Amino acid sequence: MTALNDQATGRLTDEEIFLAHEGGKLGVSVRTSLADSRALSIAYTPGVARVSSAIARDAALARDYTWTGRLVAVVSDGTAVLGLGDIGPRAALPVMEGKAALFKAFGGLDSIPIVLDTTDVDEIVETLVRLRPSFGAVNLEDVSSPRCFELEARLIEALDCPVMHDDQHGTAIVVLAALRGAATVLSRDPGSLRVVVSGAGAAGVACARILVAAGIADVTVLDSRGIVHAGRGDLNPIKAALAEETNPAGRTGGLDEALTGADVFIGVSSAQVPETSLKLMAPDGIVFALSNPDPEVHPEIAARHAAVVATGRSDFPNQINNVLAFPGVFAGALNAGARRITERMKLAAAEAIASVAAEELSIDRIVPSALDPRVAPAVADAVARAAE
């Protein structure tokens, strides 16, 4: 197996990557003492019977006396994994383990990866309904579009606990926070910006909707066939609904027509953007090229035509990373005992992320670092307050 890069360059090598994954990235730790026979009697038999009996009388006590009150199920069918696509549940598991590790490191939440060997929405819903007593929330991950929309909606209705598809809403929350940061740096009113979203999959739809919900009225969305507008006869139900919610000017055509005079470009698809198209944007524009590993346009090229540039990568300034959102969102929802993650909670999360960076904003810092320890507690607090 060829190394990705030589160790001497400071970049990653296959050797260190596979070594770090050997045996998996997760384990189980014990939170209570088992040091002597009395401790064993408390943690297991006979003491545990008293706790189980109490929960049998009042099921709500499970939240306090089991780990479900802080346990997230990270669920995937492996159909849309990172930049790898449909690689199946087993190949998706290292990613889900990584997601679970992020929950613990940044949100203080335990989580269990669950990869399912089915892509049938009915089967996935039935499986999670039957598993519901074992967890407190569901983080859907790497489920292909458009099934992800139906699956999330069905699970929200079927389960009495928080459910969120992070590829949709985690991305949207951080994009909104970043756009607020960029607008502040440029002394612009976010509501006055004309925004173009390239991509009408999971992330694109969620980004467009949260921007509209946040008061940004002029949002235009592109899919692989051009601008999403109500006059198109080839739209699936999700895109048809999106056409009613966006593009107030009734624009038609392709990328160039959408970008002419636009203030903001948000790329959440793999479609490459020519430099000639960026030249059509309004002066002092904002470009978020978020595809990984290859942005829609290289940041150095984007910087020739935009005042603020962000990507999804850690090796360029202004990384828009979902880890800024999902640990705090789930922690806040679980802390509040919320049954749903609402639009109000998502908007509160975006505001909290933006507020952490508020005193340190610059062209190269429109959101906090993904490693900033202040973010998850701030988001959790804001989400819990919004839930109440």
What own/partner pairs with CB < 8 Å and gap ≥ 24 does 76-79 have?
76/113, 76/114, 76/115, 76/116, 76/140, 76/141, 76/142, 76/143, 77/115, 77/116, 77/117, 77/118, 77/119, 77/124, 77/142, 77/143, 78/115, 78/142, 79/119, 79/142, 79/143, 79/144, 79/147
- Kindly report the pTM of this predicted structure: 0.93
pLDDT at residue 339, rounded to an integer: 96
State the Cα–Cα distance between residues 354 and 17, nearest whole angstrom: 33
Is residue 141 marked as binding? yes
pLDDT surpassing 80 at residue 198: yes
Nearest to 142 by CA among 107, 161, 123, 170: 170
pLDDT of residue 83: 78
* Nearest to 311, CA basis, from 297, 332, 330: 297
The string of pLDDT tens digits covering residues 222-274 is 999 999 999 999 999 999 999 999 999 999 999 999 999 999 999 999 889 99
Q: Which two tokens stand for residue 383?
A: 């989400």
9 band by pLDDT with thresholds 50, 70 and 90 = very low
Question: Would you place residue 292 in the very low, low, confident or very high pLDDT band (cuts 50, 70, 90)?
Answer: confident
pLDDT, residue 10, reads: 61
Tokens of 177: 């926070």
Q: Residues 153-167: what's their mean pLDDT? A: 98
**383, pLDDT greater than 80:** yes
Mean pLDDT to the nearest integer, 343-366: 96
Cross-strand partners of 75: 114, 140
Q: Region 136-165: what's the mean pLDDT? A: 97
Q: Which of 190, 334, 355, 326 is nearest to 266 (CA)?
A: 190
Residue 260's SS3 state is coil
Q: Does residue 83 or residue 316 have the better pLDDT?
A: 316
Confidence at 5, pLDDT banded by 50, 70, 90: very low
DSSP assignment of 153-203 equals HHHHHH-SS-EEEHHHHHHHHHHHHHHHHHHHHTT--GGG-EEEEE--SHH
Task: Determine whether the annotation assigns residue 142 to a binding site.
Answer: yes
On whether the CB atoms of residues 235 and 243 are closer than 8 A, the answer is: yes
Query: Which whole number is the average pLDDT over 325-353?
Result: 97
Q: What is the mean pLDDT of residues 99-115?
A: 97
Give the CA count within 13 Å in the CB-facing half-sphere of 243: 19
For residues 202-219, give the mean pLDDT: 97
User: Can you tell me the distance from the alpha carbon of 116 to that of 48, in angstroms, rounded to the nearest whole number?
Assistant: 31
Residue 257: name the closest of 198, 298, 205 by CA: 198
168-172, 262-266, 290-294: which has the minimum mean pLDDT? 290-294
Tell me what the mean pLDDT of segment 65-71 comes to.
Answer: 95
Q: What is the pLDDT of residue 44?
A: 95
Residues 6+ apart with CB under 8 A from 59: none
Q: pLDDT tens digits, residue range 186-197? A: 999 999 999 999
Confidence grade of residue 318 (pLDDT, cut at 50, 70, 90): very high
Question: What is the average per-residue pLDDT within 33-55?
Answer: 95
Q: Which helix (H) or strand (E) holds 209?
A: helix 202-213
Model confidence pLDDT, tens digit, residues 124-134: 999 999 999 99
Q: Would the pLDDT of 156 be above 60?
A: yes
Which of the residues are catalytic? Answer: 44, 99
Q: Which residue did the predictor score with more confidence, 61 or 5?
A: 61
Structure tokens at 193: 């910006």
pLDDT number for residue 12: 87
143 in Cβ contact with 77 (< 8 Å): yes
